[in-house]
Structure 1
């Protein structure tokens, strides 16, 4: 007997199948026929939900980033958490150094998912600075920070962490990483107009400094 599923359920079936296939075979190595066979649907059903394989990829990106950014926004909006701690929790949720999105990030860092990784990087650089900026503005009101350019500061921070601390972008040894972390914090202190050493609590975002 033929199983008839609701449109949203069928759409998720297609995304789940594509996600699994992209992991196993890569985006370029996966054909629409592979997805059709995996889900067990006709080509017309696939194109009813998605215009192309690229469209499926974009929907997967949206699914991943909704999870990552959603966790970060929830933390950023929690005024019961003090500003300094909120910054750390937001960054951890975004998995610059671990956190709620670790499983997702591990997935997209696989070589066969390079395109997905690139697209998610773009989403993060375009969305995360605004999330962090709201916290920085609170910090300015509380006298914790002193900068006339909170958004631009966070844009620089996110762009740097999303490239230099990304193992797929910059090759470095554990020793080189250990040197970059305090240098990064030193420069963030300059950007936010605070005393040298006052943001060293941020070291815990990077664990021991020897982890990827």
Structure 2
């Protein structure tokens, strides 16, 4: 009996947390992060403010959890893109497809307001932002796998390791995302990434990477 009660309480708790997340995301999109209060969130969910703080310490944590929830999906999507690529598909083409998927996730699924406030959280370090950094880990893993494959196939001619190139790849993507946030809505994220990385990857194919002092 006690086990059933415990399981029931956990289920209700998870359902409440999910409702808070969904309601907050709707309000953030409608009114903006700064104009959405904890009071407005609990009113929409139909719970007390105390119940909110059982699950989250602040609005910032909602941002982190929302992005973390999206990471599981994009991690699966990136794996799927890699696994379904034909053996004769150039690694460069698959990497560009990865960038297209990342852009769609950032722009369409997460949206500008969520990304902007996630960037502010990371800059100000208002919470432990490990959840936000997991996104970079998912992208790094996909890039590392593909760059390793490109080197093994002889498609990429480089004196750098796959680890070093994948790290640079992720850092560059993060830079473009920050530029997109800073220049929204004038900058098109996917277009900018595609244009840059076609040049970036062409350098690996035709010229290789030379050590720099």
Kindly indicate whether residue 51 of structure 2 is the aligned counterpart of residue 39 of structure 1: no
TM-score (norm 1): 0.68
Partner of 1:87: 95
**Contact 2:150 2:156 (8 Å CA) reproduced:** yes
Structure 1 unaligned regions, length at least 5: 197-212
- Summarize the alignment of residues 69-84 of structure 1 with structure 2, pairs less than 5 Å apart: 69-78=75-84, 80=86, 82=89, 83-84=91-92
TM-score (norm 2): 0.68
Partner of 1:29: 35
Give the structure with the larger helix fraction: 2
Distance 2:184 2:107 in 1: 20
Distance 1:55 1:180 in 2: 29
Higher relative contact order (CA 8 A, sep 6+): 2
Partner of 2:108: 103
- Summarize the alignment of residues 26-175 of structure 1 with structure 2, pairs less than 5 Å apart: 26-78=32-84, 80=86, 82=89, 83-95=91-103, 99=104, 102-105=107-110, 107=111, 109-110=112-113, 114-116=116-118, 122-147=133-158, 148-164=160-176, 166-169=179-182
1:45, distance to aligned residue in structure 2 (A):
2.1
1:181, distance to aligned residue in structure 2 (A):
6.2
Aligned length: 183
Cα 1:103–1:170, aligned 2, differ >3 Å: closer, same or farther?
A: closer
1:151, distance to aligned residue in structure 2 (A):
2.4
Deviates more, 1:164-173 or 1:80-89: 164-173
**Contact 1:26 1:113 (8 Å CA) reproduced:** no
Partner of 2:198: 185
Cα 1:163–1:179, aligned 2, differ >3 Å: closer, same or farther?
A: closer
Aligned-residue Cα RMSD (Å) equals: 3.5
Instruction: Specify the SS of the correspondent of 2:180.
Output: coil
Distance 2:20 2:192 in 1: 44
Distance 1:6 1:23 in 2: 26
Cα 1:161–1:170, aligned 2, differ >3 Å: closer, same or farther?
A: farther
